């Protein structure tokens, strides 16, 4: 059971004080009965809450996909730089959202933003084996030695990487699959072969791939099926 004012505030963006006024002005009903107090307890799985006759669609958590452009940092706040949260539509601004995992400032592509800590942990934990797929362009020709090195597990200064996939798709381009997410991981892995990453785009998480119609900078909610395809 949760407090009515908290539920309405979380779903609508009204402050608790505003919800109190809504209740006072007889604009809130629970199960077709006008309520007189804003701190009553409600069961969001059963109770029907109406504000001005409109049902509050209670979502415990929100899951958003963002096609991240360059120039944004994967953080909730930053003193100097724009964060990915600035690209989240206003209707979600009252939620405690955070990016699940990091993409470098100059990396583009699929990013999941949520307020569900457990879900975020599950997709990030190397133990859960959720694959992340990236399109990459480097400054020297791709080699079979890189493919073998990636599959055997590159040794980095902070420890050995798990085996990763590299599929060569062009002279300078490839598709990388990772099951973990270390700091600058792909850049450092190619660095071991004297290569510099010039473009990096995340295109998939689990079996979910960046939709063609999600423009750079666009952010929208996952539907249930899409979300399931991440974890499998």
Q: Which of 176, 117, 211 is nearest to 225 (CA)?
A: 211
Give yes or no for residue 185 binding ligand URA (CB under 6 A). yes
Q: What are phi and psi of 183, to 5 degrees?
A: -55, 125
If binding is defined by CB under 6 A, does position 67 make contact with ligand URA?
A: no
**35, 84, 142, 200: which one contacts ligand URA (CB under 6 A)?**
200
Catalytic residue positions? 104
Structure tokens at 232: 């499998």
Q: Does 110 bind ligand URA (CB under 6 A)?
A: no
Task: Please pick, from the candidates 103, 111, 154, 205, the single residue that binds ligand URA as defined by CB under 6 A.
Answer: 103
**75, 65 in Cβ contact below 8 A?**
no
Stretch that binds ligand URA, among 27-35, 40-48, 103-111, 165-173 (CB under 6 A): 103-111
Asked if residue 10 binds ligand URA (CB under 6 A), the reply is: no
User: Segment near ligand URA (CB under 6 A), from 58-66, 92-100, 178-186, 224-232?
Assistant: 178-186
Minimum distance of ligand URA from residue 202's CB (angstroms): 7
**Binding of ligand URA by 11 (CB under 6 A):** no
Considering the complex, what minimum distance in angstroms separates the CB of residue 36 from ligand URA? 52
Does 146 bind ligand URA (CB under 6 A)? Our answer is: no
Q: Is residue 201 part of the contact set for ligand URA (CB under 6 A)?
A: no
* Identified binder of ligand URA from the candidate list 154, 166, 186, 205, rule CB under 6 A: 186
Asked whether position 164 contacts ligand URA by CB under 6 A, the answer is: no
**Which residue carries 């120039």 as its tokens?**
71
Three-class DSSP labels, the chain: CEEHHHHHHHHHCCCHHHHHHHHHCCCEEECCEECCCCCCEECCCCCCEEECCEECCCCCCCEEEEEECCCCECCCCCCCCCEHHHHCCHHHCCCCCEECCCCCCCCEEEEEEECCHHHHHHHHCHHHCCCEEEEEEECCCCCHHHHHHHHHCCEECCEECCCCEEEECCCCEEEEEECCCCCCHHHHHHHCCCCCEEEEEEEEECCEECCCCCCCCCEEECCHHHHHHHHC
Structure tokens at 225: 């099926």
- Single out the segment in contact with ligand URA by CB under 6 A; choices: 2-10, 20-28, 102-110, 143-151: 102-110
Interface with ligand URA (CB under 6 A), residue from 137, 168, 184, 226: 184
Pick the stretch among 38-46, 101-109, 139-147, 153-161 that binds ligand URA (CB under 6 A).
101-109
Query: Contact residues for ligand URA (CB under 6 A)?
Result: 103-104, 107, 184-187, 200
């Amino acid at each position: 059971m949760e407090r009515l004012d908290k539920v309405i505030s979380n779903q609508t963006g009204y402050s608790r004080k505003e919800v109190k006024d809504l209740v006072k002005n007889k604009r809130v009903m629970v199960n077709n009965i006008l309520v007189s107090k804003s701190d009553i307890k409600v069961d969001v799985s059963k109770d029907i809450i109406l504000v001005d006759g409109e049902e509050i669609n209670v979502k415990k958590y929100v899951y958003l996909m963002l096609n991240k452009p360059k120039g944004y940092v994967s953080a909730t706040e930053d003193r100097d730089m724009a964060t990915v949260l600035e690209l989240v539509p206003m209707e979600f601004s009252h939620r405690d959202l955070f990016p699940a995992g990091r993409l470098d400032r100059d990396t583009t592509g699929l990013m999941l933003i949520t307020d569900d800590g457990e879900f975020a942990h599950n997709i990030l934990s190397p133990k859960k084996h959720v694959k992340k797929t990236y399109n990459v362009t480097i400054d020297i020709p791709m080699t079979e030695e890189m493919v073998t090195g990636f599959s055997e597990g590159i040794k980095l200064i902070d420890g050995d990487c798990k085996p990763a996939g590299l599929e060569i798709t062009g002279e300078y381009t490839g598709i990388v699959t990772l099951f973990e997410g270390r700091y600058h991981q792909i850049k450092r892995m190619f660095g071991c072969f004297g290569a510099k990453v010039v473009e990096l785009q995340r295109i998939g998480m689990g079996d979910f791939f960046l939709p063609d119609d999600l423009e750079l900078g666009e952010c929208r909610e996952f539907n249930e099926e899409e979300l399931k395809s991440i974890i499998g």
